[in-house]
Structure 1
Amino acid sequence: MDEILITGLTFQGYHGCLPEERKAPQPFIIDLALRLDLSAAAATDDLTNTVDYDKVCLITAAVVEGIPRNLIETVASSVCDALLREFAPLASVAVTLHKPQAPVRRNFSDIAVHMERVRHE
Structure 2
Amino acid sequence: MDKIKVNNMEFYGYHGVFKEENKLGQRFRVNALLELDLSQSAQSDNVEDSINYADVYQLCKEIVEGEPCNLVEAVAEKIASGMLEQFEKLQQCTIEVVKPDPPIPGHYNSVAIEITRGRD
Identity of aligned residues (%): 33
C-alpha distance in structure 2 between counterparts of 1:108 and 1:37, whole Å: 37
Count the aligned residue pairs: 120
Corresponding residue number in structure 1 for 2:54: 54
Name the structure 2 match of 1:70: 70
User: C-alpha displacement at 1:105, in angstroms?
Assistant: 1.1
Tell me how far 1:94 sits from its aligned partner: 0.5
- In the alignment, which residue of structure 2 is the partner of 1:112? 112
What is the identity, as a one-letter code, of the residue corresponding to 2:82? A
| Shift in Å, 1:44 | 0.7
- TM-score, normalised to structure 2's length? 0.98
TM-score (norm 1): 0.97
Deviation at 1:25, TM superposition (A): 2.1
**CA distance in 2: counterparts of 1:66 and 1:80, whole angstroms:** 15
Unaligned runs of 5+ in 1: none
* Cα RMSD for the two superposed structures: 0.6
Corresponding residue of 1:8: 8
Question: Deviations for 1:9-40, whole angstroms, at most 9, x for unmatched residues?
Answer: 00000000010001112000001000000000
